[in-house]
Amino acid sequence: MKWIINVILFIILVLGICSLYFPEKSTVSKGIVIILLISSFIVAIANNFHTFARDPFSQQVGTLKPKYTRTHRGSNEPYTSVSVDQNSQVYTVQMSEGVIVQPLGRYAPFSIRRAKDGLLISAIVRSLDDKVVAKVQDNKWALNPNNYFRKNFDRSALEVIDEYDVPVLQVEYLDESKIKIGGIFHLEEKETSEIYPDFPSTPKEINPRAVISFRGVILIIGEDGYLTTARNTTPEELRAKAKIIKPWFDYSDSEKLGIRKDSKAN
């Protein structure tokens, strides 16, 4: 439909410009033609707005912001709650400003830092075949366009699906004391502080206070909880195990950016 309107507008534009050069036309007639041309131009802009504007589906970077704003907070409330699956099984840890927690253990490149006004989330996410798909650093996310199949996001959440059609990252910043996560996490043999020097990690002298703590495995977090599998598990085997991860966003229509699959999640 859009292209038909564009063709009609183009024809009007050409005929209108040509008619302005006919000497027998009156001033009134030319004025009407000019008004028609201006109107056609406005309609063309409106009809092609999404083409002229930045296409959000092409966006490769963004920032996670809280979904909800806390209306009040007690002075003795320096905690954060981390939901480790979509059923909101909550893990709570006491956190004061500046503290870094790795809820999946020291071997998982996923951490949360308590800041003055909320939480700073960081993560390094890999596809089923161990390619870096996305990085999150202090709530700012960036995707590797060569290593993922599709993605969806809104103000507070990001979901990335790899080429095996599996959600390898699901993260949502709910409020200044709570996040929700899901996806595939490749847990290292060495602590993340040794492998990724710039990654925010729990200091060695501090108990990591992890809700899940494994090493040298792949951790799958989904709607029905979590499971682990060996690092040498093939992508095909991983895909079968990852059925517990249900997409958060609606992918039935390519135009449904930011629309949740379950309306109750909004």
Q: Judge if 67 and 180 occupy the same domain.
A: yes
Given pLDDT bands bounded at 50, 70 and 90, which one contains residue 205?
Answer: confident
Residue 49 banded pLDDT, cuts 50, 70, 90: very low
Total domain count for the chain? 2
What's the confidence (pLDDT) of residue 155?
92
- What stretches of 116-254 adopt beta strand conformation (E)? 118-126, 132-137, 140-143, 150-153, 157-161, 167-175, 178-186, 217-222, 225-230
Structure confidence by residue, pLDDT tens digits, 124-154:
999 999 999 999 999 999 999 888 889 999 9
Of 20, 35, 52, the one marking the end of a domain is 52
Measure the CA–CA gap between 131 and 148, rounded to whole angstroms.
Answer: 9
Residue 210: strand, helix, or coil: coil
Q: Let me know whether 254 and 232 are in one domain.
A: yes
pLDDT of residue 54: 47
Which region among 28-32, 99-103, 153-157, 234-238 has the lowest average model confidence (pLDDT)? 28-32
Higher-confidence residue of 210 and 72: namely: 210
Asked if residue 48 and residue 76 are part of one domain, the reply reads no
Reduce the DSSP state of residue 192 to 3 states and report it. helix
User: For residue 263, what is the DSSP state?
Assistant: G
Burial label, 236 (beta-carbon count in 10 A; 0-12, 13-18, 19+)? exposed
Q: Are residues 37 and 112 in the same domain?
A: no
Averaged over 67-85, what is the pLDDT?
68
- Are both 30 and 69 inside the same structural domain? no
Longest C-alpha distance within the chain, in Å? 90
Contact 99, 113 (CB under 8 A): yes
Residues 47 and 93 in one domain: no
Residues 42 and 69 in one domain: no
State whether 11 and 99 are in the same domain.
no
Domain extent, residue 206, equals 57-265
- Same domain for 244 and 148, yes or no, is yes
Shared domain for 119 and 187, answered yes or no, is yes
Query: Is the same domain home to 38 and 76?
Result: no
Q: List, for residues 13-29, the tens digit of each pLDDT value.
A: 555 555 555 555 555 45
| Beta carbons of 64 and 141 less than 8 angstroms apart | yes
Rounded to an integer, what distance in angstroms lies between the CA atom of residue 201 and that of residue 108? 10
Prediction pTM value:
0.75
Distance CA 180, CA 57 (A): 23
Same domain, 27 and 116: no
